[in-house]
Amino acid sequence: DAKTTQPTSMDCAEGRAANLPCNHSTISGNEYVYWYRQIHSQGPQYIIHGLKNNETNEMASLIITEDRKSSTLILPHATLRDTAVYYCIVRVGNSGYALNFGKGTSLLVTP
């Protein structure tokens, strides 16, 4: 799997957009970018994934650069409940293997 690099921590004011970056410069052509988050004392929650096109769902938007070497997860209107550790994981889409979790980004949403 391609290695990912994320900032250790970020702050965001409640109601503002949270933009979480991820670098994955060694990504292969058949690897997807997956985002998960883990709220304290819970299991990871799937957020969104994409291959090369930008994606949006009810939780977030995923922007992938044209060269696919980096991406940004956008929470359009962050709430206090979005405080969590966010993991960017690169993985072949239909792989049956486990996910490799790095250290992720600890996002703190403040009032």
Partner 1 sequence: GAVVSQHPSWVICKSGTSVKIECRSLDFQATTMFWYRQFPKQSLMLMATSNEGSKATYEQGVEKDKFLINHASLTLSTLTVTSAHPEDSSFYICSAREEGKGNQPQHFGDGTRLSIL
Binding site residues, partner 1, CB under 8 A: 32, 34, 36, 38, 41-46, 49, 51, 87, 93-94, 96-104
Distance CA 103, CA 89 (A): 11
Instruction: Please report, for residues 11, 93, 104, the alpha-carbon distance to residue 25 in angstroms, rounded to integers and kept in the order given.
Output: 25, 17, 16
Instruction: Tell me the closest approach of the beta carbon of residue 5 to partner 1, in angstroms.
Output: 14
Choose between 14 and 51: whose C-beta lies nearer to partner 1. Answer: 51
Instruction: Tell me the closest approach of the beta carbon of residue 15 to partner 1, in angstroms.
Output: 27
Choose between 77 and 103: whose C-beta lies nearer to partner 1. Answer: 103
Phi, psi of 80 (to 5 degrees): -60, -30
Instruction: Tell me the closest approach of the beta carbon of residue 16 to partner 1, in angstroms.
Output: 27
- Tokens read off for 90: 């690169």
Choose between 20 and 36: whose C-beta lies nearer to partner 1. Answer: 36
Asked if residues 4 and 100 have their Cβ atoms less than 8 Å apart, the reply is: no
